Structure 1
Amino acid sequence: MSTADTFAPRLCLLGRFTLTCGPTVLDVGTAAQRLLAYLGLRHHGTRTVVAGTLWPDVPEERAHGSLRTALWRLHRGREPLVCSAGDALSLAESVTVDARTLMDSALHVVDASPLALAPSPELFFAGDLLPGWDEDWVLFERERLRQLRLHALDALAHRLLAEGHHALALEAALESVRVEPLRESAHRAVVAVHLAEHNVLEAVRHYLVFRDLLDVELGVEPSARFVAMFPTATQARLMRLTRE
């Protein structure tokens, strides 16, 4: 990594908002944080759209004024973090965004590209997108990223299992379960790892815990596909347990 890369601005949106430049944490204020997060997730936007999205409950003129203040604060005494081309705003190319890297890594894994080429698969285990922010546009982006992360974790677990990396596959599957406890495909991935290691007891225990959770939360049973993963004798015992 070059010195320029080391000191390039980094925008962290997974977990608590953080903007750094090398070892220095930059304090830009709440409004500028919202602007950077918006552009970090959506890449660009017109001034009118950005102002209306970030300040939806105030008159248009005041929203534009708040946007101008946020831009001034970001540009004050430092290299601009936001670029302006006419009416369009975008994040400076020098700024790296962890959420964008996560998206790239997730799409890389889902597309079945070589795992070694994924930008940063460790971000699959990072925190949620901007927890505590409740604006509509953040909620939309959080759910979009959550779904992409879940699909990537499922794909990663199965690929690692196929390559014989059982411990890593289990970590990916359990992270998917943590993100969405009612997601059956994640639980099937956990059970697949246990069965691959011939840990039938662990597989059955995990299945039964998920079955009980599903019954309490949704009043339904796991799919027949899930039960079919087990050896025939175990399937029969699981069916009896279900009827009981």
Structure 2
Amino acid sequence: MTLSPTVEVDYLSARRLHDNRPWRSATTTALRNTAVQWAAAFAQPLLPAWDEEWLAPIREHWTNCRVRALEDLSAACLEAGELDLAVEIADIAAAADPWREAPRRLALEAMLRCGEIATAHLRYERFEQLLDDELGIRPSPAMAALLRARPAALSTAA
């Protein structure tokens, strides 16, 4: 069985995006116009309805790849000053890997930069509770320090 050359496979498209990471050289306008489309390519897990044992390590590898790509894209948005996009994309990454700290840290940094201090603190507290409830651990000291930093200092740190 073969697919028609006109059939686009989501995984292959997302893999090409992952490998090329076009947002690294995108202009701010291009980033703003296409970041959500790029993020959508990484939003879905690989074959979520399948529970085949052989698929588990492949799915885990793809989850790690797509979360790293989403983090990279969120960081690019943060650097370009696209703070709402940075949060949106970091949230997609956090949904894919709920215990991973990096996307949550990116979202907090973007929120702090745009003055959403209370929301950032609430999100931190929810993450802290999740880690405590599920794993019995706390977020890293670096993440807690981010909340103690002055928001004005954050805007010049990137």
For the superposition of Structure 1 and Structure 2, which TM-score range results when normalised by the shorter chain?
0.7 to 0.9
Specify every segment of 5 or more residues in structure 1 that has no aligned partner in the other structure, as ranges.
1-70, 72-80, 82-90, 234-244
Give 2:103's match in structure 1, choosing from 162, 167, 186.
186
Give 2:126's match in structure 1, choosing from 195, 202, 209.
209
TM-aligned CA distance change 1:123 to 1:108, over 3 Å: same
Indicate whether 1:153 and 2:70 are aligned.
Answer: yes
Q: How do 1:95-174 residues align onto structure 2 when only pairs under 5 Å count?
A: 95-109=7-21, 112-114=24-26, 116=30, 121=38, 122-125=40-43, 127-174=44-91
Please give the secondary structure, in 2, of the residue aligned with 1:136. coil
* Superposed displacement of residue 140, structure 1: 2.4
Give 1:225's match in structure 2, choosing from 112, 121, 142.
142
- Structure number with greater Rg is 1
Q: What is the distance in 2 between the residues matched to 1:185 and 1:179?
A: 12
User: Is the 2:23–2:76 contact (alpha carbons within 8 Å) kept by the matching residues of 1?
Assistant: no
* Superposed displacement of residue 137, structure 1: 3.2
Partner of 1:196: 113
Specify every segment of 5 or more residues in structure 2 that has no aligned partner in the other structure, as ranges.
151-158
- TM-score normalised to structure 1 length: 0.53
Q: Name the one with the larger strand percent.
A: 1
- The one-letter code sitting in structure 1 at the alignment partner of 2:42 is F
Per-residue CA deviation, residues 33-89 of structure 1 (Å, 9 max, x unaligned), is xxxxxxxxxxxxxxxxxxxxxxxxxxxxxxxxxxxxxx4xxxxxxxxx2xxxxxxxx
Q: Percent identity?
A: 31
* Superposed displacement of residue 92, structure 1: 6.5
- TM-score normalised to structure 2 length: 0.79
User: Is the 1:110–1:152 contact (alpha carbons within 8 Å) kept by the matching residues of 2?
Assistant: no
User: Is the 2:23–2:73 contact (alpha carbons within 8 Å) kept by the matching residues of 1?
Assistant: no
* Superposed displacement of residue 192, structure 1: 0.8
Partner of 1:48: none
* Superposed displacement of residue 142, structure 1: 1.4
Q: What is the distance in 1 between the residues matched to 2:23 and 2:143?
A: 24
Higher RCO (CA < 8 A, seq sep 6+): 2
Per-residue CA deviation, residues 147-202 of structure 1 (Å, 9 max, x unaligned), is 11100111111110111111111110111111111111111011011101011111
